[in-house]
Amino acid sequence: MTHPEFDSDLWIEVGSSSGPEKNRVNGLSNTTADNLRSAYSVSTVESPQSISSSQSKEFVALQQHTAQLTEKYDHLSAEYAQLKASHAEQKAESEQLKASQAQQRVEYEQQRAAYEELREMVMNMATQSGTCVPNPFWSYNHQPPLPGPPPPPAPPLY
């Protein structure tokens, strides 16, 4: 991603605005907009040799600070893109889970309806035959009683 070059006019304009921070240029210690303006005008009108050492150092510091901010911006932009991609993946997985749950609910309701239909058929058959049919639907974990051994034969009567 490309970034615009340093625009000293914009910095001066922002630094000259009204308010509690009037004439302050952020990121340059005690530099004011007036100092930056004078350094800018000196650098554009006079030769580079006439710029004071402190003004030159502040300008270099400003350029370094701008480069650091640009690097941080690029890093944060890359992190943001990764987070955005991760969020999109999670959202897709969430949608898949919702669809799967909906499908499971449909299947459960179909099985429940089939069970009720089968139960009704068995009950109708038992009623129509007129015989007592043991309940084929034992409760959970309940087994029908197992038949025991036959009773011993009765002793002979003499």
Radius of gyration of the chain (CA): 44
**End-to-end Cα spacing for the chain:** 116
Q: Distance between CA 74 and CA 79 in Å, rounded? A: 9
Sign of the alpha-carbon dihedral angle for 122, 123, 125, 129? positive
Residue 146 vs residues 126, 141, 149, 151: alpha-carbon distances, Å: 22, 14, 10, 15
The pLDDT, as a whole number, for residue 42 is 47
The pLDDT, as a whole number, for residue 141 is 54
Per-residue pLDDT of the chain (158 residues; tens, 9 = 90+): 565 566 666 656 665 566 555 555 555 555 555 565 565 554 444 445 555 777 888 899 999 999 999 999 999 999 999 999 999 999 999 999 999 999 999 999 999 999 999 999 988 887 887 655 555 555 555 555 666 777 778 777 76
The pLDDT, as a whole number, for residue 66 is 96
| Angle made by CA atoms 58, 10, 42, in degrees to the nearest 5 | 50
